[in-house]
């Protein structure tokens, strides 16, 4: 399982810039759960996502009164949901959730995801927790979707349905394999009774099969 990644930003433009880069790696069906108190920077981050997708960030506003906004015209349509005033997952249905979650042209960003707990698909949801540190300082903690891992060769995130899991791609897989042939990876040496004093370990020098009759 990939570990959460933490980063700090020292002004809103930095949060936006990071989000724009993140958006470049997003694919249809991806969901972003944006956790954090009022003023933490959730909407600011969505503005960056829009920019990264090729949508005018100026069109992004807090959807608090609309519950949901859809921004089109980019590489993917960005659906922006503010769940703060939603009563729960049931009310999502009225927003056309069933259609959105399977739409092959859409990514979804949700503010206050705790209000619709359980509705977000864990294998597609990246959680970003924003924490207010100082006036212009925020900490972003990014947790990749469940089942994702980090490629041992490239360090890239790998989704669970990747045909080369846990490697990012075929090339990364081959590089790792080459590492084995080149002796980069080694197994610990086998036990050598001449060199290893095993007398402290009960039964260690006996045939392991003989233990089973105890």
Contacts with ligand ADP, residue ranges (CB under 6 A): 9, 11-12, 14-15, 36, 38-44, 62, 111, 136-138
Check: CB of residue 126 under 8 Å from CB of residue 145: yes
8 Å CB contact between 198 and 205: yes
Is 153 an interacting residue with respect to Mg ion (CB under 5 A)? no
**Minimum distance, C-beta of residue 98 to Mg ion, in the bound complex (Å):** 25
Of these partners, ligand ADP, Mg ion, none, which one is at the site of residue 39 (CB under 5 to 8 Å by kind)?
Answer: ligand ADP
Report which residue's Cβ sits closest to Mg ion.
Answer: 43
CB closer to Mg ion out of 20 and 151: 20
Q: Which two tokens stand for residue 89?
A: 């997952």
Q: Which is nearer to ligand ADP, 16 or 30 (CB)?
A: 16
Which of 9, 14, 15, 43: binder of Mg ion (CB under 5 A)? 43
Kindly give, in sequence order, each residue whose CB lies less than 8 Å from that of residue 172, ignoring residues fewer than 6 positions away.
151, 152, 153, 154, 156, 164
* Interaction residues for Mg ion, span 47-76 (CB under 5 A): 62
CB neighbours (10 Å) of residue 134? 7
Residue 1 DSSP symbol: -
CB of 48 to ligand ADP, least distance (A): 9
Name the residue nearer to Mg ion (CB basis): 29 or 63.
63
Residue 32: CA atoms inside 13 Å, Cβ hemisphere, count?
Answer: 32
Q: Is residue 42 involved in binding Mg ion (CB under 5 A)?
A: yes
CB of 27 to ligand ADP, least distance (A): 24
Range list of β-strands (E), the chain:
5-9, 31-35, 68-71, 77-82, 106-111, 125-132, 138-143, 149-150, 157-158
Point out which residues bind Mg ion (CB under 5 A): 42-43, 62
């Amino acid at each position: 399982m990939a570990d959460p990644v933490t980063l700090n930003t020292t002004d809103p433009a930095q949060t936006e810039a990071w989000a724009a880069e993140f958006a470049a790696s997003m694919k249809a069906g991806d969901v972003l759960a944006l956790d954090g108190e009022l003023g933490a920077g959730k909407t600011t981050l969505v503005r960056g996502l829009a920019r990264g997708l090729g949508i005018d960030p100026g069109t992004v506003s807090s959807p608090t009164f609309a519950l949901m906004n859809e921004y089109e015209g980019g590489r993917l349509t960005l659906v922006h949901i503010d769940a703060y005033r939603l009563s729960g997952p049931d009310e999502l249905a009225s927003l056309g959730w069933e259609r959105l979650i399977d739409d092959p042209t859409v990514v979804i960003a949700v503010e206050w995801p705790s209000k619709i707990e359980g509705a977000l698909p864990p294998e597609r949801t990246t959680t970003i927790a924003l924490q207010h540190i100082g006036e212009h300082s925020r900490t972003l903690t990014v947790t990749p979707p469940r089942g994702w891992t980090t490629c041992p060769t490239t360090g890239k995130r790998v989704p669970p349905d990747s045909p080369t899991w846990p490697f990012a791609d075929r090339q990364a897989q081959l590089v790792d394999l080459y590492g084995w042939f080149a002796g980069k990876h080694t197994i610990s040496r086998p036990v050598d009774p001449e060199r290893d004093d095993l007398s402290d370990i009960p039964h260690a020098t006996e045939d392991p099969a003989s233990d089973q009759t105890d």
